[in-house]
Amino acid sequence: MSDRPTMTTTAGAPIPDNQNTMTAGPRGGVMLQDYQLIEKLAHQNRERIPERVVHAKGWGAYGTLKITGDISKYTKAKCLQPGAETPMLARFSTVAGELGAADHERDVRGFALKFYTPEGNWDLVGNNTPVFFIRDPLKFPDFIHTQKRHPRTNLRSATAMWDFWSLSPESLHQVTILMSDRGLPVDPMHMNGYGSHTYSFWNDAGERYWVKFHFKTQQSHKHFTNEEGEALIGKTREGYQEALFGGIERGEFPRWKVQVQIMTEEQAENTSYNPFDLTKVWPHAEFPPIDIGIMELNRNADNYFAEIEQAAFSPSNIVPGISHSPDKMLQARVFSYADAHRYRLGTHYENIPVNQPRCPVHHYHRDGQMNTYGGLRTGNPDAYYEPNSVNGPFEDASSKEPPLKISGDMARYNHREGNDDYSQPRALFNLFDDAQKGRLFSNIAAAMGGVPGEIVERQLAHFKLVHPDYEAGVRAALERLHGYKADTISAQPTAAE
Distance of closest approach, residue 445 Cβ to ligand HEM, in angstroms: 27
The reply, when asked if residue 373 is annotated as ligand binding, is no
Q: Which of 37, 54, 84, 447 binds ligand HEM (CB under 6 A)?
A: 54
Q: What are the backbone angles phi and psi of residue 8, rounded to the nearest 5°?
A: -130, 165
The interface region with ligand NDP, picked from 149-157, 422-430, 443-451, 463-471 by CB under 6 A, is 422-430
| Site pattern 56..75 for ligand HEM (x: CB under 6 A) | --x-----------------
CA distance 124 to 202: 17
Beta bridge partners of 23: 30
Q: Is 428 in the site for ligand NDP (CB under 6 A)?
A: yes
Judged by beta carbon, residue 178 or residue 352, the one nearer ligand NDP is 178
Q: CB under 8 Å to 245, separation ≥6 — which residues?
A: 59, 61, 300
Work out the angle between the directed axes of helices 158-166 and 434-447 (0-180°, nearest 10).
Answer: 120
Does residue number 202 form part of the binding site for ligand HEM (CB under 6 A)? no
Q: DSSP E strands: which ranges in 18-140?
A: 58-67, 85-94, 109-117, 120-127
- Of 38 and 53, which has the nearer Cβ to ligand HEM? 53
Cα 409 to chain center, whole Å? 32
Q: Which helix (H) or strand (E) holds 322?
A: strand 322-323
Nearest by Cα to 64 from 87, 97, 84, 95? 87
Phi, psi of 465 (to 5 degrees): -70, -25
Site for ligand HEM in 171-190 (CB under 6 A): none
Q: Is 414 helix (H, G, I), strand (E, B) or coil?
A: coil
Give the CA-trace dihedral at 95, 49, 248, 294, to 10 degrees.
60
Residue among 69, 87, 283, 326 that touches ligand NDP (CB under 6 A): 283
Q: Which of 104, 121, 127, 443 is catalytic?
A: 127
Query: Does residue number 427 form part of the binding site for ligand NDP (CB under 6 A)?
Result: yes
How many residues bind ligand HEM (CB under 6 A)? The answer is 28
**Which residues lie closer than 8 Å to 21 by C-beta, 6 or more apart?**
30, 34, 37
Cα 94 to Cα 333: distance, rounded to the nearest angstrom:
18
Cross-strand partners of 293: 67, 258
Question: Taking CB under 6 A as the rule, which mask of x and - marks residues 74-113 in contact with ligand NDP?
Answer: ----------------------------------------
Please choose which of ligand HEM, ligand NDP, none residue 37 contacts, taking the beta carbon within 5 to 8 angstroms, the exact cut-off set by kind.
none
Judge contact between 421 and 279, C-beta under 8 A.
yes
Rg (CA), the chain: 26
Q: Is 125 in the site for ligand HEM (CB under 6 A)?
A: yes
Which of 211, 311, 376, 466 binds ligand HEM (CB under 6 A)? It is 311
Distance in Å, CB of 148 to ligand NDP, minimum: 26
Residue 188 interacts with, from ligand HEM, ligand NDP, none (CB under 5-8 Å by kind): none
Note if 430 is an active site residue: no
Nearer to ligand HEM, 335 or 394 (CB): 335
431 forms part of the interface with ligand NDP (CB under 6 A): yes
Catalytic positions = 55, 127
Binding site for ligand NDP (CB under 6 A): 130, 177, 180-182, 192, 216, 281-285, 424, 427-428, 431-432, 436
